[in-house]
Amino acid sequence: MESELLIYLCDDEKASIRALESLLANEPNVRTQAFDAGTKLLAAIGKQAPDLVILDIFMKGLDGIAVLREIRDAAGDLPVALCSTSTEFAMDGYRLRAARYLEKPVRQEELHELLTFVRSTRRARPVFRLGKDEAVPLADILYLEQQDHRIALHLVSGETKYAYGRLDRLEPLGPAFVRSHKSYLVNLDHVLAIDDELSVFRMRGGGTAYIRKGAIPAMRRRYDDRLIERVRLS
């Protein structure tokens, strides 16, 4: 059986939310949470990232494109489907890697196809295994830190999870990760800046990860290369 999908809906029109909830009630293993403003949605994502966001474009305050831009800055590749009565902003959405562009009124077939895509994407996401029954998507890790005989996984959600082991013995985690220090393995996709004076990466969420002495130039090259690669892949 497929595991449950957590879906956030964001629209300032109650009728639109009710219509989506009605359609989603026909889909198995789905749980929804609704928000009437982009700021409320972003705050919720900061506490717990969902499997999918369905986001209206024309909202008061932050519009959907602005909210999607914030999501990309804060939550990387979180699947987001834009929803609107017009296709006017479709290209803006796709530039920000929107998973789908749904035209209102949304049809059941479109929604089912979207959920099938999200489930298949989730199954394909690489993970860090904490044990037999628990795993963390690599994309959700800010950085890993060696703490005595444990590895601390600092996550986008603000949580810290632990696994026993050594960074030296880990298999390569992919092109986004770089060993910046004997005690730190950093996900470059969540780096905001490099602080030359303090020799640290400044991470999303306010954390920092140390860079070993003399490695700033090499880390800057790796960071710049990763930025270029992400643009190419987007």
Q: What backbone torsions phi and psi does residue 163 show, to the nearest 5 degrees?
A: -135, 145
Q: Where in the chain is the domain with CATH 3.40.50.2300?
A: 5-124
Q: Where in the chain is the domain with CATH 2.40.50.1020?
A: 128-233
- Mind listing the pLDDT tens digit of every residue in the chain (234 residues)? 566 889 999 999 999 999 999 999 999 999 999 999 999 999 998 777 888 999 999 988 888 889 998 888 776 678 999 998 877 777 777 777 888 889 899 999 999 999 999 988 877 678 898 877 788 889 889 999 999 999 999 998 788 999 999 999 998 898 999 999 999 999 998 999 999 999 999 998 889 999 999 999 999 999 999 988 776 655
User: CA–CA separation, 109 vs 82, rounded Å?
Assistant: 16
CB atoms within 10 A of CB 107: 12
What would the pLDDT profile of 52-71 be if each residue is shown by its tens digit? 999 999 988 888 889 998 88
The pLDDT assigned to 76 comes to 66
User: CA–CA separation, 17 vs 146, rounded Å?
Assistant: 45
Burial 196-233 (b: 16+ CB within 10 A, else e): eeebbbebbeebebbbeeebbeebeebbeebeeebeee
The pLDDT assigned to 78 comes to 84
> In terms of C-beta density within 10 A (0-12 exposed, 13-18 middle, 19 or more buried), how is residue 122 classed?
middle
Q: What backbone torsions phi and psi does residue 188 show, to the nearest 5 degrees?
A: -65, -20
200-203 and 191-195 strand pairing: antiparallel
Closest by CA to 159, choosing from 188, 183, 130, is 130
What would the pLDDT profile of 165-187 be if each residue is shown by its tens digit? 999 999 889 899 999 999 999 99
Q: What is the mean pLDDT of the chain?
A: 89
User: CA–CA separation, 32 vs 8, rounded Å?
Assistant: 6
Taking domain 5-124, whether its CATH number is 3.40.50.2000 is answered by no
User: CA–CA separation, 181 vs 159, rounded Å?
Assistant: 22
CATH architecture, domain 128-233: Beta Barrel (2.40)
Q: How remote is the C-alpha of 156 from its chain's centroid?
A: 8
